[in-house]
Amino acid sequence: MRKDVFTFLVGGKAGEGVRKAGSVAAGLFASMKRQVFNMDDYQSLIKGGHNFSIISTANRQITSHYIKADLVVALDKRSYEMHKGDLTEGGIMVYNSDAVGDAEGVGVPLTKEAKKYPNPNLRLGVGAVTTLAAAIGWDKESLKRLIEKKYPRDIENNIAYAMTIYEMVNPKIENRFKLDDGDKERSILSGNEAIALGAAAGGLDIYFAYPMTPSSSLLHTLATHGGKMGLPAVHPENEIGVINMAIGSVFAGARAMVGSSGGGFALMQEAFSLAGMAEAPLLCVLGSRPGPSTGVPTYTAQGDLKFAIHQGHGEFPRIIASPGSMEEAFYLAAEMLSLLWRFQTPGILLTEKHMAESRMTVDIDAEGAKWPEPIVHGAGEYKRYLDTENGVSPLLFPPSKELIKWDSYEHDELGITTENPEMIARMQEKRNRKKKAIIDHLKDIHTVNMYGEKGPVILTYGSTTMSVLEALKVSDIEAMVVQPIYLEPLPVWELERYKKGGVIVVEQSCAGQFASLLKEKVGIEPITVIKKYDGRPFDPIELADKIKGVV
């Protein structure tokens, strides 16, 4: 076991409660007031295949999972074969002897015992949690309370099964890993949960989405909890309906958000341009996954960076931002809502599957969420597209005695269709002036995160930031990590100081899109680009070795 990190891995088939076991394990560590990072790896299958969940925990902030585990529970033979090489020195493999047979490690007849109860496959995850509890020294009463809380359906059978497995496994691995309690109990959030709650805290009125991995859990979160906040989640028939209904809601004065991924967001491009022409402040969440086309939909990538920056046809300002942690995802969702309503333009909160679905302990103050303060029409004739110095026109919402006209066609200040060349040019210039206003505003707010004070400069963004920070921590590498939060407009004024050379870029793109953006916009020429594009996030130890190989 690493001196300050303990890692638990549970693997099995889809339908065996693997992800649930991972979630319960994360909650177990959090209840010990420890900090947690939980990553789920799963195939695009309802049943079968191979799923595994990794939970790393420490008594300090931990920003990544570790693939090498101190305790592995393999529920099937495939998991045993795939993860027997993923043990740390001194680690323990506990396996389902009914599925694996005789093998190295500690065998437990998880399936045989589960068949004594209804739905035996779903019972296996309870066995994995029980094994973890025994390994870290929990007694039977503590385990019983955990099962009652986390597995309330068919509770008596779950408890009976857990007690049986505990009696079998405890003599072999009892208290093998001594974990100290931490300083305080924290909430655990995924990136999507943080975005949902942050947007709600920032004044979101309505959410529209059609399910698409990895954005689906945003819809699930708001469908489950939105009613308590007076925030409906709407599931239209397709992505085109999603974004057009959202623009209609914005016209009526509702702060709306949409979410999608990959091909689903591609279907929204035309309406994204409609939002640009109509000057609709619409927040879009784009959850990246490997492409092109369907790609591998349940894995992670940063290949949608330029897709997001150049979203929509025609020229109009847009704001693109990407959070570097779950806590930042919370605050950034609210901040993006505020910015888009201030400047009346569409924007994208860009995430990745690793950010969207991984879970970690967080410290969040809901009072810190920013609230939109749009410019609203006062007295006199209302001109929806009034040509102002900064390009931002006053808003007015129905019901109203004034004519409120939004238009997808080029238009004059009143919103009336025009093909007059002078007016076309004037409206193009009006919208374009917003970009300068946006940049001027961004210069007065926090747009770039910087970690460390000396050493080589590492530029990264999005969820890869978490991997980089953990890699530096685990290997005691001294470096400066620079993470732009905003990608369009890119905060060139903050990044120009790194043009002098010696910069390392870390990203999850085969083509090196982030490095290309830095070169195009800032003139930064990195000495190397460390890339990973196999659908899996960086392991901090492997990433640390690559960084040390450069510095």
pLDDT of the residue at 85 = 96
CA 438 from centroid of its chain's CA atoms: 25
* Whether residue 138 is found in the same domain as residue 230: no
How far apart, in whole angstroms, are the C-alpha atoms of residue 273 and residue 244?
11
Q: What pLDDT does residue 2 have?
A: 63
Same domain, 136 and 214: no
For residue range 186-220, list pLDDT tens digits in order.
Answer: 999 999 999 999 999 999 999 999 999 999 999 99
Location of structure tokens 């407009």: 489
Task: Summarize pLDDT for 120-129 with one digit per residue, the tens.
Answer: 988 999 999 9
Q: Is residue 382 part of a domain?
A: no
CA distances to 296, 308, 454, 503, 542 from 497, in Å: 38, 26, 14, 11, 29
Question: How high is the pLDDT of residue 287?
Answer: 98
Are the CB atoms for 393 and 344 separated by under 8 Å? yes
Are residues 229 and 103 part of one domain?
no
Residue spans of the chain under pLDDT 70:
1-2
Domain residues for the domain of 458 are 448-550
Do 287 and 312 share a domain, yes or no?
A: yes
The answer for residues whose C-beta is within 8 angstroms of residue 452's C-beta and 6 or more apart is 472, 478, 479, 480, 481
Please name the amino acid found at residue 255: R
Structural domains counted in the chain: 3
What is the strand order of the sheet 256-260 is part of?
233-234, 206-209, 256-260, 283-288, 347-352, 319-321, 486-488
CATH number of the domain residue 101 falls in: 3.40.920.10
Q: What is the pLDDT of residue 1?
A: 42
Contact call for residues 76 and 96 (beta carbons, < 8 A): yes
Q: Are residues 107 and 239 in the same domain?
A: no
Asked if 220 and 340 sit in the same domain, the reply is: yes
For residue 236, give both structure tokens: 């239209």
Do both 23 and 121 map to the same domain? yes
Same-domain check for residues 167 and 205: no
Asked whether residue 315 is assigned to any structural domain, the reply reads yes
**Is 533 a member of any domain?**
yes
Q: Is 212 helix (H, G, I), strand (E, B) or coil?
A: coil
Tokens of 337: 């809502």
CATH number where 307 lies: 3.40.50.970
Same domain (yes/no): 155, 212: no
Angle value at C-alpha 224, between 219 and 227, nearest 5 degrees:
105
**What CATH number does the domain containing 461 carry?**
3.40.50.920
The answer to whether residues 123 and 208 belong to one domain is no
Domain end residue (candidates: 345, 368, 391): 368
H or E element, residue 437: helix 421-442
What's the rounded Cα separation, in Å, for the pair 150 and 140?
15
For the whole model, what pTM was predicted?
0.96
* 519 DSSP β-pair partners: none
Identify whether the C-beta of residue 125 lies closer than 8 Å to the C-beta of residue 20. Answer: yes
CA-CA distance, 521 to 515, in Å (whole number)? 10
**Which pLDDT value is given to residue 366?**
87
Instruction: Determine the pLDDT at residue 47.
Output: 84
How do residues 230-273 score in pLDDT, each as one tens digit? 999 999 999 999 999 999 999 999 999 999 999 999 999 999 99
- Give the strand pairing for 283-288 and 256-260: parallel
Residues 166 and 195 placed together within one structural domain of the fold? no
pLDDT in tens, 284-336: 999 999 999 999 999 999 999 999 999 999 999 999 999 999 999 999 999 99
- Residue 451 pairs in a beta bridge with 481
Residue 158 within any structural domain of the chain: yes
